[in-house]
Structure 1
């Protein structure tokens, strides 16, 4: 990849790399022995979808419409499994912080999640064996390996921003400006707003990662700063999702579930209180992580990286 390359072909290269990651993790996602395969496959799908969202205008809409729909469905199938992996991981983190005698407090809940995860994994396998995913592998695989496929035609009589160097600098700055516009909202922002901010951070991070070969040597450091904020926001969102699921379980399933005693429900309530308090602390401390990206130092480094274009 280089700065004089067309945006369409540079983006195709990015998507081809992620397509290969997606395919490489399919067998492991089916097997279910290592949760990182589902994670890596889902991230690859997210990166491709982000590439289409940020740079899809360089392709003809009819050429990419079906790909974007199939990618969304694939991400949803993977997400059903991955979400349960995250819930389990966070529950284990909570339990490991308890006295030894209490480390089995959530066993019935974790067993319930394991059962749900296996159901989700089998549904994922059905999806991966189905026509939509097979079409994605075939048609999208052809798209990312065929230079020129689906590219918007250029108007030869008009100035057109079509090279990486023509486009990327303003795109990155717009993504960054969107992020720092949240500054005045941070102190009172609800979790839903912070979740949108996290997604905006993801767009900036991926744009920098996609085009690192064209940017200055400080780019990896900038990416680490964005990841620090994104991870903090991700912890807030994980706590929000856990709260919603645990609350719903207590209201509609837990009390009548034959495998859950009153003591089990009390332990789940204690875990719920822990996640609520943890989320509150994370929201109150976001201002400590925020300067990682909202600073003169970050903007100076970003400027230097973009000057390489």
Structure 2
């Protein structure tokens, strides 16, 4: 069993969700999982799959129980179990209450419990004051183990993203898959907040990355997961990514045009400003469509259903298949999927007409990358996995630059078809991008041969040996 002190609440949550608990129904087990998750640090119910799968009544129950549990946890911050509740006073008129405690370490425990009473107030119980009574004859409490500082508001809106899932080769593939789904689903939900606020272009990008990783995980665990559900969720994630794609394409193109306009030797002509205006208009329209999708009943239903899927190891799952039973063949099959493009890419002819094939190659490379990253934390595989990831990621990013140029070329061609001959400044920008494309294409044979080489395959085989 993997124990992580900083993430012990996550580990505990995962144990409850992945192991049968006698006498508890699925929803009740999800309630327990939420209480474990919410007793520590900031409470983020809208990011927790176990919470999202619950009905409204159980969600209210979870928050109320968590409010009590957080105070109780603070009352034993000194971990000596000597705190006693001496008295309690409540005022129903102004919704204020005071809890009096005594015992060794009561003063420190009172401070901690008062800090963790944030959720008590957030769920509508009113303000809680906790007072430590003085007892001169009480022995001093042992020094408490410090914890990271937490926000004064329990229902916080900040987060650090997904967390790493540590597994062993002997763990079940289904268990690892569900834990990875919970991690990246949490990250996707966090990025959705940023997409809605639209303060930065990065959340759109990272949310799309999260959807791709989730689809990759579903594809990997399809041999141990219910087939119909896997197909459904992969389809929904693909639809979500498509809803966000036009916004991301516009963001990338806008950044490139703005960079070109800023770094030109002479000021950009007004006509280039017209290109920027067109991009901003299209971006605004694409963003409005993306928001409409995020606000749709379809998306809300998907999030609830997906949360249930990854927190309920019910019928259709195959728990007996271990990571080491399948990881090797999964990794090598994805490499074979990438290497198959060796027959489709003709290095003896011009590569520009083969841009679409290069884009498909990039997608195959992404799939291999996600698989390697998924299994990268198994045992002590970080170093050998990093050795094969480094050239793969570099090639993927390089091919991404080519794809960005292809998107820009198609956009400008569409503008020309709509408005007729474009201003020479736009044509100059188009020539600039095409020149950059030619330079990038010259690099492809060298990068591609590295991924097809015998040393690379040997490094990849070493990863399989460690399983």
> Which TM-score tier does this pair reach, normalised by the shorter chain?
0.7 to 0.9
Matches within 5 A, 1:1-309: 1-102=167-268, 106-146=272-312, 148-149=313-314, 151-153=316-318, 162-183=321-342, 185-187=345-347, 188=349, 189=351, 190-214=354-378, 216=381, 217-252=383-418, 254-255=419-420, 265-309=423-467
Shift of 1:39: 0.7
8 Å contact from structure 2 (residues 226, 317) kept in 1:
yes
Structure 2 distance, partners of 1:101, 1:124, is: 34
Q: C-alpha separation between the residues in 1 aligned to 2:169 and 2:189?
A: 28
Structure 1 stretch displaced more, 34-43 or 232-241:
232-241
Q: Which aligned runs of 4 or more in structure 1 are off by greater than 6 angstroms?
A: none
The 2-side partners of 1:122 and 1:226 are apart by 35
Unaligned ranges ≥5, structure 2:
1-166
Inter-partner Cα distance in structure 1 for 2:269 and 2:174: 53
User: Cα offset for 1:308?
Assistant: 1.5
Deviation, structure 1 residue 294? 2.5
Q: How far did residue 61 of structure 1 move?
A: 2.2
1:2 aligned counterpart, secondary structure? coil
* Aligned mates of 2:296, 2:184 — CA distance in 1: 21
Q: Distance in 2 between matches of 1:77 and 1:57?
A: 28
Tell me the CA shift for residue 57 of structure 1: 3.3
Aligned residues: 294
Alignment RMSD: 2.1
**Cα separation, partners in 2 of 1:186 and 1:206, compared to 1, 3 Å:** farther
Question: What SS is found at the alignment partner of 2:171?
Answer: coil
Identify, as 1 or 2, the structure richer in helix: 1
Cα deviation for residue 65 of structure 1 reads 3.4
Q: Is the 8 A contact 2:219 2:230 kept in 1?
A: no
TM superposition shift of 1:153: 4.7
Deviations 1:27-63 (A, max 9, x none): 1101111110111111001111122234323222222
Cα-to-partner distance string for 1:87-118 (whole Å, 9 max, x where unaligned): 11222233344214237662111122112212
Query: What corresponds to 2:155 in structure 1?
Result: none
Q: How big is the shift at 1:23?
A: 0.4
Instruction: Write the deviation string for residues 137-188 of structure 1: whole angstroms up to 9, x where unpaired.
Output: 2110121222x2453457xxxxx8x221111112211222332343352523
SS of the aligned residue for 2:290 comes to: helix
Higher relative contact order (CA 8 A, sep 6+): 1
